A and B are shown apart, each in its own frame.
Chain A
Amino acid sequence: MDNKVKFNTKNLDLFYGDFQALKSINMEICENEVTAFIGPSGCGKSTFLRCLNRMNDLIDCVDIKGEIIFDGKDINGDIDVINLRTRVGMVFQKPNPFPMSIYDNIAYGPKCQGLKDKAKLDTIVKDSLERAALWDEVKDRLNKSALGLSGGQQQRLCIARTIAMNPEVILMDEPTSALDPIATLKIEDLMQSLKKLYTIIIVTHSMQQAGRISDKTAFFLMGEVIEFNETPKIFTNPDDKRTEDYITGRFG
């Protein structure tokens, strides 16, 4: 696969106050691929993911060194954060639909960008829900509160909400950890179909999931990327002993 490089990080260090959570990360993430981050709890996967759309701005004591090049520009430099976040969407670990109707949840992002045309909004809502494989389940209750949906539906709604912005990259932080196996499978299928259109980066604790859905996998440990390679290679023949230990469950 010779896809274009979407994200390129160079010597990325991140500090929470005095604590260094990321240590000199160099990684190239390619377009139209699913990249999975695996690693033990607290190793910095979420932290790294949140760097990519600058969600760490919300935390006060964060200090970032190094570069994150996105389509040729350093996103920590002089760029428009709002624009970056419309191009790099994010789905969180816990489904977080807004306490408003299903329709309004999807229309929220486009409306914030100033889109007012009701007909266009309607199409966006329908399209996004269809692409998130949720349309059939909710088409009769678009004006009901999103909080009435099941956990799995809520998470797909959050994905639909992200798709509605038509982003280039979708970041997903353990999107299925709160869901049952069937809902999980639905979301995995969804990712496979979405990957043709978007670049997907996913954090997961499930080896099987990483193996099933990702093209490339990065193994994080204590804030470092130990190994980053094609997924089959990581799972069958890793270069590093620590990766092998983690994957086979002999870790720690």
Chain B
Amino acid sequence: MTQKIKDTIVKGVVYLATGITLCVLLFIIGFIFIKGIGLINWNFISRDYNDTTFYAFVQESNSPTTLDEKVQENKSDYDKKYETPLEAPVYVESIGAEITKVLYKNYTTEKEQFIISYISKGSPLLSAVNSNGTSIDVSTDFVLESVNGNEFTGMSTEEVKTLINDQSGELKIKMVEPGGGIRSNIITTLYMILLSLVVALPIGIFGAIYLTEYAKPGKIVNAIRFAAECLAGIPSIIFGLFGMAFFVVALNFQISLLSGSLTVAIILLPVIIRSTEEALKTVPIAFREGSLALGATKLQTIFKIILPCAVPGIATAVLLSIGRVIGESAALLLTAGTVAQIPGTLFSPGSTLTVQAYYVTKEEGNIEMACAIGIVIIVIVIILNILSRIASDKLNVFNKE
């Protein structure tokens, strides 16, 4: 009887613990999704974080396009989030678009601007090109600043309309593509993953090969293993400090993609060494014996038999590493910086998605954007998971028919 009660209690505790874990998980993910999903759209992913200013060359339309009444009703698809209309929208025939004067504010600035609020079907804006002749995707929320050198500041919407309509021939319009996107962060993250893996994977794999295949078991091997385990347990801010002192300052790599990826590579090493070692150890001794008995050298045995068998394990290591790079913030904050730009060279700074999430939360209090970044990260992780599973299935020598 008492045994039964004990069982029930233990069972209850187990269920409770599972339930709490699940609830917390669901709550977090739910929170992130609800908070962030509103921001997720193609612009969020494809645009830079900072505003981009450029000149668009537009051929003034000869037969002025008229406003498409039907569409005008639901033309409000521009991002109203940071904008309050100041004057009624006005249709400018010569560029086939409607402009609105708005008070534009984001977390840092607040100013009066003219934005494109609607583009009609035959609008010449749709075939706009930049100074290099490449076409531009003008869309409804771009800011107009000047036409043929005449600034719009201080004008009313009607004045701007007249000004634009008075121009003839090719119009040179200064436009601003609003920022707020994370394209640069996505690209920086991919660079960071690639670079750190390029550095850490070979070193880690060769290290693991040395430890399992060559090193005589003894003090030195144990010391190396112990060191690797310790490295795995050290908080990443310590690596960040080291990377800052060594790569950034001592080697003068600056706060850059290179410093960041080298620092992360060090963080990845223990992960890669450990999982590769595990993978190598599970390769049956019969394969080694079979290979050596055929007159293969040790090196041939390792590269032709043992490593191919260990590929699924190594794929796991790669996956773990990618997760680690994506999740890394403290170390990268110190070594790769918080500049939301696509690093032009190895020596330019750039912020990964996670760092950007930290940055917008901390510096701008923009939790919404942080959550949206969170969603993107979750999606990337899921995709990578699936990809690596497919890859390791495809590469698994034991699966082949």
Contact = CB atoms under 8 A, between A and B. Distances in A.
Best-buried of A83, A90, A99, A113 by chain B (most CB within 10 Å): A99
Interface in A160-199: 161-162, 165
B401 interface: yes
Given A92-B286, A96-B286, A144-B401, A108 B292 contact: no
B398 interface: yes
A92 B295 contact: no
A92 B290 contact: yes
B288 A58 contact: yes
B294 A161 contact: yes
Nearest to B397: A99
A112 B292 CA distance: 10
A112 B304 contact: yes
B294 A96 contact: no
A94 interface: yes
Contact of B295 (A83, A99, A158): A83
Contact of A108 (B216, B289, B296): B296
B398 A99 contact: yes
A58 B297 CA distance: 12
A148 interface: yes
B401 A53 contact: no
Contacts of A92: 286, 289-290, 293
A112 B295 contact: yes
Interface residues of B, number: 25
A96 B284 contact: yes
A96 B292 CA distance: 12
B288 A109 contact: no
B304 A108 contact: yes
Contacts of A89: 293-294
Nearest to A99: B397
Contact of A94 (B216, B286, B295): B286
A85 B293 CA distance: 6
A118 to B, nearest CB: 17
A98 B287 contact: yes
B302 interface: no
Nearest to A109: B294
B305 interface: yes
A82 B401 contact: no
A247 interface: no
B292 A98 contact: no
Nearest to A83: B295
A162 B296 CA distance: 12
B296 A109 contact: yes
B323 interface: no
Interface string A95-113: 0111111000000110011
A85 B397 contact: no
Given A108-B296, A109-B295, A98 B401 contact: no
B291 A98 contact: yes
A101 B397 CA distance: 10
B287 A96 contact: yes
A99 B311 CA distance: 12
A248 B285 CA distance: 36
Contacts of A100: 308, 397, 400
B295 A165 contact: yes
A147 interface: yes
Given A99-B308, A99-B398, A112 B290 contact: no
Q: Ordered nearest first, which 7 A-B pairs have the shortest CB separation?
A: A86-B295, A109-B294, A96-B286, A99-B397, A90-B293, A112-B296, A145-B400
Interface of B: 216-217, 284-297, 300, 304-305, 308-309, 397-398, 400-401
Given A92-B293, A98-B290, A101-B400, 7 more contacts: A58-B285, A58-B289, A82-B295, A85-B292, A108-B296, A112-B300, A148-B401
18 contacts: A55-B292, A58-B289, A82-B297, A86-B294, A89-B293, A90-B289, A92-B290, A96-B284, A99-B308, A100-B308, A100-B400, A109-B295, A112-B297, A112-B300, A112-B304, A145-B397, A145-B401, A161-B290
